[in-house]
């Protein structure tokens, strides 16, 4: 009688949980607390507000804790960087916390060593350096979003004036800030108010995935898409690499970066000369246009965009950067590398980041590091940089430490720990306090920084009131515009990966297995290439390309993507890691060798050719065309006006059998394709909530991924259409009547249930599911590993092999709400049940609720003229329905 996981989770006190792990007793133990912690009730989850930073700004989170274990991350509606939504990284961060391969002990020259030894070595060095006012001490950090850490670093500079603090963040804002420096004479950060503009032109700006305000911007974008002629916005996108914005654009033009810059110059100088430019320029002028510039563009292009926005009166505010570092990161790390090579660095403290892997290739950072007598690396993993440093210290995860963080608009939030450091990690504040020779806990540092605020309220709410940066009034200067360089024959565009970003999430299986939005590739990257270019090189998806640039050669499999710019390949950074861990090692290919400090986002290729070898791409969707089947429907705004129904209802009117009566709640979901940007937050939120296992690259190739809600992506009519597909909860469910044991059945509220403990695994249900949303545990995918199992949601059964599973409409959440309502003898209210996918969605594209309540959000959505049922003609009567997408092309332009 093996200890069952759920009982284990439910009953073990947090303190006893890890101690008693893995014990297999003939009798099941029931372990109470010795000392009852305050405010905990076993079996009742609690939520704590905190903040997580992934792309250079904080996203507010509410973290669910079950008997002391953080299990799930939700968005914080009060936080401007979240607005209630979460990014895929926010969702996956909880898995990172429990990653068994996180570094668990300090290491000296790769060997486990005692922390005391580290402190004494550090102190010894510091004593020596202090005598020289810090000369020889260098600190390297990624973007610092923590005001407390900023103050600590300022204090360090004051104490040791000869010491230097460097920045290197692979996802830096150099171009944006340098552009502002050109335009205004100081580094500034633009804050877009997309919803105030009815015509947005994005110049390669990846504002839905990589910009610090991404969640906020997606929400704003979604709001701007209300399909009304007076208010609906229009989005023009010029992109050098597939992006979510490009997929959502009403007009999307793909061209390499250099071409975009040339286009911008022409657009700024003589928009009337070209029909497209003229139409866009007119639209921008008429409709409070806004231009967004991406990090890939040169500073001068940014400066030009600042000027054009100014001329347009665009809804954009300028604020001080949330990390007020005076230098571009590329410059800063170059200086550091130079100093290291020159032997000027005696003590280097790298506070997070992984420059040994991701520093610009031309700096030869690793070799420089070898010349530093005492180097210290603080990081979550014992990674590539750790291996080259004298010391490696395990860092604390953000769910383990006290800190603070600013959102993209400057709003501060307190980062509070939900669990004591699992492996005795050190927080950035603590290590800097060691450098200050005034050892302090993180809590003391952070509390000390925020003396004047209502601390309790800030913790409860998850934001510190009134800390957003005020807009800056800055005068424009004239900018000398260069003659743009001739584009190279072939260029390589480097982009942060939507899953692993710069590589820091490489060991996160959820993110690795999350299909990348544009390619549906998992477990790796590829050289994205247009169909025409692929034909030219005679390659197909999966053929390995050899790419040569000045000084570097990489091998990477090609992946043909319709709508990709010609003569260009896009490669995501963050792969090919050697010391990521068992999950991340060897996934994909490393594109950092192509990345130079003077050209962070693109490289000119001297040659690209096919090698002849092949590498299977683990894609979750192998067929990108819809074959005219109209699953993901869309309609032009002009065609929608005056229509009661945008799409014909093909549900057969008659049924042989009478319909079952539903006299209680009637759960239903509506998914709005008009606002869905395809970011995958729903998929990964569902994975976190519902204990969905990952299966690994080989199993994905075999076609066995487990996601309960997948985001289909079709290329149709020169558009990219996204379509999240969960279980449809059909009233006439084809899956049910074929099951010999009645494992899939309906309940009285219309949920299509899958009773795992009844399932014998005939897979008949999946065979008969026209939507193919059922997932099968072909092998034992759910592992019972410590400490990963601590992440599991105790309210959801962990499925064993041989069992079918699928979306349950978050039955556990319905049940919880029902029990609370029943205790109060009332009906559940609209909005009381929020599914995991719905909660995570930055666009608010998913609504869920009770159809029996005519006023519920979902009932409202079902009355929308855009509503349609997927495969309605099969008479499955799905409870999940869609609202079709509305595109708003400019009538002056023909590609739409």
Tell whether residue 34 is a contact of other proteins (CB under 8 A): yes
In the set 237, 339, 426, 723, which binds other proteins (CB under 8 A)?
A: 723
Q: Which is nearer to other proteins, 198 or 775 (CB)?
A: 775
Q: At closest approach, how far in Å is the CB of 660 from other proteins? A: 5
Mapping DSSP to helix (H, G, I), strand (E, B) and coil, where does residue 868 land?
Answer: strand
Window 869-888: residues binding other proteins (CB under 8 A): 871, 874, 877
Q: Which is nearer to other proteins, 378 or 725 (CB)?
A: 725
Q: At closest approach, how far in Å is the CB of 636 from other proteins? A: 23
Tell whether residue 24 is a contact of other proteins (CB under 8 A): no
Tell whether residue 5 is a contact of other proteins (CB under 8 A): yes
Residues forming a β-bridge with 378: 351, 393
Q: Which is nearer to other proteins, 720 or 888 (CB)?
A: 720
Q: Which of 404, 449, 416 is nearest to 151 (CA)?
A: 449
**C-alpha separations of 541 from 483, 561, 582, 613, 704 in Å:** 37, 9, 26, 12, 20
Window 628-647: residues binding other proteins (CB under 8 A): 628-629, 631
Find the helix or strand (DSSP H, E) in which 204 lies.
none
Tell whether residue 537 is a contact of other proteins (CB under 8 A): no
Count the site residues for other proteins by CB under 8 A. Answer: 113
Q: Which is nearer to other proteins, 629 or 645 (CB)?
A: 629
- CA pair distance 260, 273, nearest whole angstrom: 16
Window 233-262: residues binding other proteins (CB under 8 A): none
- CA pair distance 103, 364, nearest whole angstrom: 25
- CA pair distance 583, 385, nearest whole angstrom: 18
What are phi and psi for residue 138, nearest 5 degrees? Answer: -130, 140
Tell whether residue 532 is a contact of other proteins (CB under 8 A): no
Q: Which is nearer to other proteins, 67 or 146 (CB)?
A: 67
Tell whether residue 556 is a contact of other proteins (CB under 8 A): no
Q: Tokens for 838, please give them.
A: 């719905």
Q: Which residues of 836-849 are buried (b: 16+ CB within 10 A; e: fewer)?
A: bbbbbbbbbbbbbb
In the set 486, 644, 658, 854, which binds other proteins (CB under 8 A)?
A: 658
Tell whether residue 668 is a contact of other proteins (CB under 8 A): no
Q: At closest approach, how far in Å is the CB of 499 from other proteins? A: 19
Q: At closest approach, how far in Å is the CB of 564 from other proteins? A: 20
Q: At closest approach, how far in Å is the CB of 75 from other proteins? A: 24
Tell whether residue 39 is a contact of other proteins (CB under 8 A): no
Tell whether residue 30 is a contact of other proteins (CB under 8 A): yes
Q: Which of 282, 263, 244 is nearest to 203 (CA)?
A: 263
Q: Which stretch binds other proteins (CB under 8 A): 29-37, 178-186, 275-283, 455-463?
A: 29-37
Window 782-841: residues binding other proteins (CB under 8 A): 795-798, 800-804, 808, 811-812, 815, 819, 822-823, 825
Q: Which is nearer to other proteins, 473 or 623 (CB)?
A: 623
Tell whether residue 367 is a contact of other proteins (CB under 8 A): no
In the set 119, 270, 649, 660, which binds other proteins (CB under 8 A)?
A: 660
Window 735-764: residues binding other proteins (CB under 8 A): 735-742, 745-749, 751, 753, 755-764
Tell whether residue 420 is a contact of other proteins (CB under 8 A): no
CB 829 within 8 A of CB 771: no
Q: Which stretch binds other proteins (CB under 8 A): 84-92, 553-561, 578-586, 734-742?
A: 734-742
The number of residues in the chain equals 896
Q: Where are the alpha helices (DSSP H) in 313-441?
A: 329-341, 355-358, 365-370, 384-388, 428-435
Peptide bond into 46 cis (omega under 30): no
Q: Which stretch binds other proteins (CB under 8 A): 218-226, 432-440, 566-574, 778-786?
A: 778-786
- CA pair distance 633, 717, nearest whole angstrom: 11
Q: At closest approach, how far in Å is the CB of 347 from other proteins? A: 41
Tell whether residue 768 is a contact of other proteins (CB under 8 A): yes
Q: Tokens for 712, please give them.
A: 């289909």
Q: Which stretch binds other proteins (CB under 8 A): 250-258, 441-449, 623-631, 638-646?
A: 623-631
Q: Tokens for 39, please give them.
A: 């405010």
Q: Which is nearer to other proteins, 352 or 699 (CB)?
A: 699
Window 293-322: residues binding other proteins (CB under 8 A): none
Mapping DSSP to helix (H, G, I), strand (E, B) and coil, where does residue 316 land?
Answer: strand
Q: At closest approach, how far in Å is the CB of 766 from other proteins? A: 5
Tell whether residue 715 is a contact of other proteins (CB under 8 A): no
| Cα 272–chain centre separation | 39
Q: Quick one: 27 exposed, middle or buried, by C-beta within 10 A (0-12, 13-18, 19+)?
A: exposed
Tell whether residue 31 is a contact of other proteins (CB under 8 A): yes
Q: At closest approach, how far in Å is the CB of 792 from other proteins? A: 11
In the set 102, 377, 392, 713, which binds other proteins (CB under 8 A)?
A: 713
What are phi and psi for residue 858, nearest 5 degrees? Answer: -75, -35
Q: Which is nearer to other proteins, 47 or 756 (CB)?
A: 756
Cβ count within 10 A of residue 824: 8
Tell whether residue 46 is a contact of other proteins (CB under 8 A): no
Cβ count within 10 A of residue 262: 17
- CA pair distance 139, 160, nearest whole angstrom: 12
Q: At closest approach, how far in Å is the CB of 805 from other proteins? A: 11
- CA pair distance 165, 142, nearest whole angstrom: 11
Q: Which is nearer to other proteins, 612 or 658 (CB)?
A: 658
Q: Which is nearer to other proteins, 559 or 596 (CB)?
A: 559
Q: Which stretch binds other proteins (CB under 8 A): 185-193, 218-226, 290-298, 625-633?
A: 625-633
CB 617 within 8 A of CB 545: no
Q: Which residues of 59-91 are buried (b: 16+ CB within 10 A; e: fewer)?
A: bbbbbbbbbbbbbbbbbbebbbbbbbbbbbbbb
Q: What is the dihedral of CA 556, 558, 561, 564, to 10 degrees?
A: 60
């Amino acid at each position: 009688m093996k200890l069952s996981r759920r009982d284990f989770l439910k009953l073990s006190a947090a303190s006893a949980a890890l101690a008693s792990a893995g014990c297999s007793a003939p009798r099941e133990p029931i372990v109470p607390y010795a000392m009852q912690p305050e405010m905990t009730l076993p079996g009742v989850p609690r939520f704590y507000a905190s903040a997580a930073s992934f792309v250079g700004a904080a996203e507010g989170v509410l973290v669910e804790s079950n008997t002391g274990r953080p299990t799930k991350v939700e968005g914080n509606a009060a936080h401007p960087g979240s607005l209630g939504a979460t990014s895929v990284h926010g969702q996956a961060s909880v898995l990172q916390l429990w990653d068994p391969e996180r570094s668990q002990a300090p290491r000296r020259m790769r060997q486990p060593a005692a922390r005391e030894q580290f402190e004494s070595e550090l102190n010894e060095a510091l004593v020596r350096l202090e005598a020289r006012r810090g000369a020889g001490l260098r600190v390297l950090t990624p973007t610092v979003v923590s005001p407390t850490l900023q103050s600590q670093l300022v204090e360090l500079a004051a104490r040791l004036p000869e010491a230097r603090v460097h920045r290197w963040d692979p996802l830096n804002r150099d171009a944006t800030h340098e552009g502002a420096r050109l335009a205004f004479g100081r580094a500034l950060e633009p804050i877009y108010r997309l919803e105030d503009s009815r015509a947005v032109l994005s110049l390669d700006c990846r504002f839905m995935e990589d910009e610090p305000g991404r969640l906020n911007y997606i929400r704003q974008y979604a709001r701007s898409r209300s399909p009304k002629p007076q208010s609906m916005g229009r989005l023009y996108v010029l992109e050098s690499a597939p992006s979510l914005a490009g997929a959502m654009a009403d007009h999307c033009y793909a061209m390499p970066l250099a071409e975009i810059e040339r286009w911008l110059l022409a657009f700024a100088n003589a928009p009337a000369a070209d029909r497209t430019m003229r139409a866009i320029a007119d639209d921008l002028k008429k409709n409070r246009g806004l231009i967004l510039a991406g990090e890939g563009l040169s500073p001068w292009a940014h400066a030009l965009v600042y000027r054009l926005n100014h001329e347009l009166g665009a809804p954009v505010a300028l604020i001080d950067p949330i990390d007020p570092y005076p230098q571009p990161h590329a410059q800063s790390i170059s200086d550091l590398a130079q100093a290291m090579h020159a032997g000027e660095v005696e003590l280097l403290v790298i506070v997070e980041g992984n420059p040994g892997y991701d520093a610009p290739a031309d700096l030869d950072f690793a070799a420089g590091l070898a010349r530093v007598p005492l180097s210290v690396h603080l990081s979550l993993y014992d990674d590539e940089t750790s291996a080259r440093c004298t010391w490696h210290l395990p860092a604390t995860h953000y769910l383990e430490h006290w800190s603070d963080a600013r959102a993209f608009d400057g709003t501060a939030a307190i980062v509070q720990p939900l669990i004591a450091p699992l492996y005795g990690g050190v927080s950035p504040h603590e290590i800097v306090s060691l450098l200050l020779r005034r050892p302090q806990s993180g809590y003391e540092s952070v509390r000390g920084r925020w003396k004047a605020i209502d601390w309790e309220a800030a913790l409860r709410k998850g934001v510190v009131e009134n800390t957003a940066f005020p807009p800056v009034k800055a005068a424009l200067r004239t900018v000398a515009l260069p003659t743009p360089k001739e584009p190279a024959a072939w260029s390589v565009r480097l982009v942060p990966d939507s899953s692993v970003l710069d590589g820091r999430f490489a060991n996160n299986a959820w993110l690795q297995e999350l299909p990348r939005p544009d390619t549906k590739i998992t477990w790796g990257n590829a050289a994205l290439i247009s169909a025409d270019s692929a034909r030219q090189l005679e390659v197909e998806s999966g053929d390995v390309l050899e790419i040569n640039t000045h000084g570097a050669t990489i091998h990477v499999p090609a992946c043909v993507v319709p709508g990709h710019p010609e003569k260009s390949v896009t490669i995501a950074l963050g792969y090919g890691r050697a010391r990521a861990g068992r999950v991340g090692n060897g996934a994909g290919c490393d594109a950092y060798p192509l990345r130079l400090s003077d050209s962070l986002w693109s490289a000119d290729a001297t040659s690209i050719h096919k090698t002849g070898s092949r590498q299977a791409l683990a894609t979750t969707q192998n067929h990108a065309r819809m074959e005219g089947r109209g699953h993901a429907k869309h309609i032009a705004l002009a065609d929608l006006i005056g229509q009661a129904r945008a799409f014909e209802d093909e549900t057969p009117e008659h049924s042989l059998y009478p319909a079952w009566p539903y006299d209680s709640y009637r759960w239903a979901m509506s998914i709005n394709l008009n606002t869905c940007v395809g970011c995958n937050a729903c998929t990964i939120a569902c994975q976190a909530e519902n204990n969905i296992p990952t299966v690994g690259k080989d199993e994905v190739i075999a076609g066995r991924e487990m996601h309960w809600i997948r985001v289909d992506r079709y290329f149709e009519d020169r558009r990219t259409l996204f379509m999240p597909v969960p279980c449809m909860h059909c009233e006439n469910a084809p899956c049910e009547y074929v099951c010999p044991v009645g494992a899939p059945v309906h309940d009285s509220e219309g949920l299509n249930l899958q009773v795992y403990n009844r399932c014998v695994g005939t897979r008949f249900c999946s065979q008969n599911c026209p939507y193919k949303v059922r997932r099968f545990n072909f092998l034992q995918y759910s592992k019972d590993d410590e400490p990963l199992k601590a992440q599991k949601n105790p309210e959801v059964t962990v499925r064993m092999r041989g069992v079918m599973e699928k979306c349950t409409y978050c039955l556990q959440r319905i049940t919880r709400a029902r029990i609370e309502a029943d205790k109060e003898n009332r009906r559940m209210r609209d909005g009381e049940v929020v599914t995991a996918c719905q909660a995570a969605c930055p666009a608010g594209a998913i609504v869920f609720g009770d159809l029996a309540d005519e006023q519920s959000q979902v009932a409202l959505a079902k009355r929308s003229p855009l509503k349609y049922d997927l495969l309605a003609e099969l008479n499955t009567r799905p409870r999940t329905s869609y609202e079709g997408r509305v595109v708003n092309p400019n009538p002056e332009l023909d590609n739409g």
